[in-house]
C-alpha cells in the first residue's frame, strides 16, 4: 500500500478530500496530515502527496524531505505557483484537477453570457441606483447573437458545449487551439469588434499580460459585454476603466481583477456599467467534490499500474490559467 500525505489549507479537506477518503484509504495509508504546513522530519515515507489550494512549493528542500515521492495529486487548477525546475527534474508525475475545476467556471460563464444578452445586470444595477423600475430597451437576445471566446482550452470548450442550446454564433481566438465543432476561429481584432459578448479564458502568461487594452476595448460593438473569469492582469485595467467611463453602452462582468480585490476607491466599485464578483466562478462548496473525485480516480489508476489520464507535462502546466 502506498504512503500518502495531505498538505493544503485546512478548510479544503472537508470539501475536496473527505467525500473520497474511503477510496484514497483503499489505496494508500495516510502517514501525514491533513496539515497546512510541512514538517520535513515526518515526510520521509511519503510516496503520494495529496494537495490543493495552499499547497507548499515543491522546491528542492521539500523534495529532499520526500525521497520516495512517486506522485503529486493537485486537487485544484493552475500549478504555476506550486512547481519549480527542481520538481520537473525529478520526473514525478503531477496530476491537476483543472478539468474538474473547469466545470463550474463554464457554468458560471454560461449564466453570465445569458444574463448579458438579456441585459440583466444593467437593469438590476440601474433599478437599484434609481430606486425605480428601468425602462426596457432593445437587447441582442439569445438566438443569433455572437459570443466571442478568448482562448479555447478546457473551460472555453465547455462553454461552447453549453452554448449549443442557444443557437448563438460562437467565434474564438486561440493560437494554440485546433478546430472545435461549431466554432469559427478569428483574429483578435475581429473577436472584439463583432461580438455581443466577449468572454476571457486565456491563461496569464508574459505574452498575455495586458493583452486586452484600450484599442480592443474601444472597438467593442455598441452595447457589448466583457466577461472575465480568467485572470485580472490579462486586461489593462486602467484602459478598461477609461473605456467604460467614456462608453456607458458597454458593460463588464468581472470575477477577477488586478490586483485582487481591487484597491479601495477603485472606479470599478462605482462605475454603473461594471459588476464585480469575488472570484467565485471556480469550485465552491460541494462543487469541490468534483476535484476530489478526479484525483481519487487517478490515485486508483496509479496504484493499479494503469496510465494516468490527467497528468501534466511541463509545457501544458505553463499554459494553464
Give me the active site residues, please: 231, 260, 279
Whole-number Å distance between alpha carbons of 255 and 83: 25
Q: Is residue 180 a contact partner of residue 187, using CB atoms and an 8 Å limit?
A: no
* Cα atoms found within 13 Å of the Cα of residue 68, Cβ hemisphere only: 11
Judge contact between 72 and 193, C-beta under 8 A.
Answer: no
SS (H, E, C) 40-85: HHHCCCCCEEEECCCCCCCCHHHHHHCCCCCEEEECCCCCCCCCCH
Judged by DSSP in three states, 244 sits in helix
Are 121 and 115 contacting, i.e. CB atoms less than 8 angstroms apart? yes
Residues sharing a CB contact under 8 Å with residue 217, sequence separation 6 or more, in sequence order? 192, 226, 236, 239, 240, 243, 244, 250
72 strand-pairing partners: 49, 94
Longest dimension (CA), the chain: 67
At a CB cut-off of 8 Å and minimum separation 6, what does 214 contact?
Answer: 236, 239, 242, 243
Distance from C-alpha of 295 to C-alpha of 287, rounded to nearest angstrom: 14
Amino acid at each position: 500500500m502506498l504512503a500518502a500525505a495531505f498538505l493544503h489549507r485546512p478548510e479544503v479537506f472537508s470539501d475536496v478530500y473527505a467525500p473520497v477518503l474511503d477510496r484514497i484509504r483503499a489505496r494508500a495509508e495516510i502517514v501525514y496530515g491533513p496539515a497546512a504546513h510541512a514538517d520535513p522530519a515526518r515526510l520521509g515515507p511519503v510516496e503520494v502527496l495529496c494537495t490543493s489550494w495552499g499547497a507548499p512549493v515543491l522546491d528542492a528542500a521539500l523534495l529532499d524531505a520526500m525521497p520516495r515521492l512517486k506522485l503529486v495529486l493537485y486537487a485544484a487548477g493552475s500549478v504555476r505557483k506550486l512547481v519549480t525546475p527542481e520538481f520537473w527534474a525529478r520526473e514525478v508525475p503531477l496530476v491537476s484537477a483543472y478539468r474538474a475545476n473547469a466545470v463550474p467556471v463554464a457554468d458560471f460563464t454560461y449564466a453570465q453570457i445569458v444574463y448579458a444578452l438579456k441585459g440583466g445586470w444593467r437593469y438590476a444595477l440601474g433599478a437599484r441606483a434609481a430606486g425605480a423600475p428601468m425602462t426596457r430597451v432593445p437587447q441582442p437576445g439569445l438566438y443569433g447573437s455572437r459570443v466571442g471566446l478568448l482562448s479555447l482550452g478546457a473551460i472555453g470548450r465547455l462553454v461552447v458545449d453549453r452554448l449549443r442550446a442557444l443557437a448563438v454564433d460562437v467565434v474564438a481566438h486561440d493560437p494554440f487551439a485546433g478546430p472545435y465543432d461549431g466554432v469559427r476561429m478569428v483574429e483578435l481584432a475581429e473577436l472584439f469588434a463583432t461580438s455581443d459578448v466577449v468572454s476571457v479564458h486565456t491563461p496569464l502568461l508574459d505574452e498575455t499580460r495586458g493583452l486586452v487594452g484600450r484599442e480592443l476595448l474601444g472597438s467593442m460593438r455598441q452595447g457589448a459585454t466583457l466577461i472575465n473569469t480568467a485572470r485580472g492582469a490579462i486586461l489593462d485595467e486602467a484602459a478598461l476603466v477609461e473605456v467604460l467611463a467614456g462608453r456607458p453602452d458597454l458593460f463588464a462582468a468581472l470575477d477577477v481583477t488586478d490586483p485582487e480585490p481591487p484597491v479601495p476607491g477603485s472606479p470599478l466599485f462605482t462605475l454603473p456599467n461594471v459588476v464585480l464578483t469575488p472570484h467565485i466562478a471556480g469550485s465552491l462548496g460541494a462543487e469541490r467534490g468534483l476535484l476530489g473525485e478526479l484525483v481519487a480516480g487517478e490515485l486508483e489508476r496509479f496504484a493499479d499500474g494503469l496510465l494516468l489520464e490527467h497528468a501534466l507535462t511541463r509545457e501544458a502546466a505553463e499554459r494553464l490559467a
